[in-house]
Amino acid sequence: MFALRALLSLLTLQAGFCATLQGRAVDFFNPTAGGGSMLDNAGSGGGEPLNVIISGLSSPDVLTDDGIVNFARAIGFSTECFGVHLGDPQSANLGDGDGWVNQTIELREDYGDADAGTCLESLVGGNHFRVYRQNGPTANSGALFLAVSQEENVSQGHTIAPDGYGIGRDRLVSSAIGKTSFGGVSYTTSAKNLTGLLAPGSNGINHGIATDGITTLLTVTIN
Ligand SMILES: *[C@@H]1O[C@H](CO)[C@@H](O)[C@H](O)[C@H]1NC(C)=O
Ligand SMILES: *[C@@H]1O[C@H](CO)[C@@H](O)[C@H](O)[C@H]1NC(C)=O
Ligand SMILES: *[C@@H]1O[C@H](CO)[C@@H](O)[C@H](O)[C@H]1NC(C)=O
């Protein structure tokens, strides 16, 4: 009886341990530790910095495809203009054992109209981000890594604005922090700046745009 109970509690402990490894008990795992990169592959020889991370400790419903779209709407973004992709998808290796994986989704600033606003963004430029999920077998944090950038308008050929990565990140973060809501879901979001994940400067960065090397960690809780 005692042995059985000991065995049972050992099994329970192990299940708890596995849940800790698999079940979003960390903010994120550093991609470079698993052979990945904090720069995505923009297909041009360079990459966009993964400058915002939505923590794996966020409410699990925020970290799903539908969940991130709803949160994005709460902070002024929407899915792309009627599903039309304006460029090739980019890919990232988050060091989670899945290798290079295409972006899950791309969201654009919606200019106050969640349906038609993104079409406006396509014409006038604005903020946008790509989403990559860290959920491979060796680093399953569930965290979302975002490549955020501010684009110039279409007359500028949709290039990234000067300092577009820093501006894009800071604009997204300032609209996210505090209390927001969309579609009947309300969020409380806190932010923390992390250094040491991305190198400051322009080495390897798409379009050679220098950055300050900061990645902002957001923890998003559904109230
Ligand atoms: C990524 O997207 C490109 C372009 O749509 C496609 O050709 C490629 O097969 C995709 N890669 C993966 C791993 O899904
Ligand atoms: C597009 O950008 C150019 C250069 O920054 C600017 O002169 C022009 O007014 C912008 N057009 C729109 C529609 O925002
Ligand atoms: C993070 O760094 C940016 C750029 O220096 C700054 O504007 C922002 O206020 C910082 N955010 C936090 C939460 O410290």
Domain boundaries, the chain: 25-222
DSSP label at 159?
P
DSSP label at 218?
E
Instruction: List pLDDT tens digits, range 161-211.
Output: 789 999 999 999 999 999 999 999 999 999 999 999 999 999 999 989 999
Instruction: Please calculate the CA angle 153-211-159 and round it to the nearest 5 degrees.
Output: 20
- The Å distance, Cα 115 to ligand 3 centre, comes to 30
Instruction: List pLDDT tens digits, range 68-119.
Output: 999 999 998 877 664 555 567 899 999 999 999 999 988 878 766 666 666 6
Residues with CB under 6 A from ligand 3: 170, 191-193, 214, 216
Nearest ligand atom owner, CA of 212: 3
Nearest atom in ligand 1 to the alpha carbon of residue 102 is: 1
Instruction: List pLDDT tens digits, range 3-42.
Output: 555 544 544 444 444 444 444 489 999 999 999 999 999 9
pLDDT at residue 130 tops 60: yes
- The Å distance, Cα 77 to ligand 2 centre, comes to 21
Nearest atom in ligand 3 to the alpha carbon of residue 214 is: 2
Kindly list the distances between the CA atom of residue 32 and the CA atoms of 4, 14, 48, 60, 89, in Å, as whole numbers in the listed order.
43, 28, 15, 24, 22
Task: From 122, 153, 159, 160, give the residue whose CB has the most ligand 2 atoms within 8 Å, as the site to mutate.
Answer: 153
CA–CA separation, 101 and 152 (whole Å): 27
3-class DSSP assignment, residue 142:
coil
Q: Which of 218, 215, 208, 211 is nearest to 45 (CA)?
A: 208
Residue located nearest, by CA, to atom 12 of ligand 2: 124
- The Å distance, Cα 83 to ligand 3 centre, comes to 32
